Amino acid sequence: MTKKYRIKTSCPQCGCSGVSHLSEQEIIQRYGDVPNIELECHECMMIMDADVEEDMDVDE
């Protein structure tokens, strides 16, 4: 079973927010095995911290 995570971002600069869903593998591929993920805002390019929480909705 693959763990899935929900990554929530909210930009302090322009106020936009978003949620993306990634599997554990995808997170490791993109960000490495790190507890804190930093993402770049699509709107203003500011680097912001993302909240990562486990997604309980599992679709096999």
The answer to whether the beta carbons of residues 58 and 1 sit under 8 Å apart is: yes
Q: How far is the CB of 34 from Zn ion (least distance, A)?
A: 22
11, two tokens = 């930009």
Q: Is 50 in the site for Zn ion (CB under 5 A)?
A: no
Site for Zn ion in 2-41 (CB under 5 A): 11, 13-14, 41
State the Cα–Cα distance between residues 16 and 44, nearest whole angstrom. 9
Q: Which of 19, 28, 34, 44 binds Zn ion (CB under 5 A)?
A: 44
4, two tokens = 């899935």
Residue numbers of the site for Zn ion (CB under 5 A)? 11, 13-14, 41, 43-44, 46
